[in-house]
Amino acid sequence: MPINLDLNSLADYVLLAAAFMGAFLSALWLSLVIWTFRDMRARSRDVFAQVLAAAVVAVLTLPGLLIYLILRPPRTLAETYEQSLEEEALLQEIEEKRVCPGCGRQASEEWRLCPNCLTKLKKTCAQCGRLMDLPWNVCPYCATPVDGARASEAEPAPATE
């Protein structure tokens, strides 16, 4: 039995497949350029760098994408911002920890003396009864001078004109 091949219909199928592949590759190329631009926009504020990265991918396609992936900044702007916030929070946490000057162990803000070495950490205001740091010569809550402080230390000097 001979097989009838219609060359016109076969050419139509090849043309249809080629058109479909062309449309698919064009859509893939355009999506790579858009993705590169958006990714670079998330990683840099420099508009020139954003456009240049997209242009490299637009001109070189897959090799351009590979070049972009090698050269792009490692972190996005959001990740960089989050990292800086974490570092700042860690530094603030380190600075806020109160330690005993006698033994160096962690001490609570409300403690009058260290339970480990019995070092005096705070003193009590004679007027209002609130806790004050040892170096203070005046109570910041009620403005009462501390007993034993010199008058020149306890009261601020009058402003000279």
**If the chain, 161 residues long, is cut into consecutive pieces of 10 residues, what is the mean pLDDT of each piece?**
72 94 98 98 97 97 96 96 93 78 85 89 88 88 77 49 45
DSSP for residue 112:
S
| Measured CA distances, 144 to 124, 126, 130, 134, 150 (Å) | 11, 8, 11, 14, 13
**What does the pLDDT read at residue 1?**
58
**What does the pLDDT read at residue 99?**
82
CA angle 141, 146, 148 (to 5 degrees): 175
**What does the pLDDT read at residue 87?**
93
Answer whether 0.85 is exceeded by the pTM: no
CA–CA gap between residue 111 and residue 14 (Å, rounded): 86
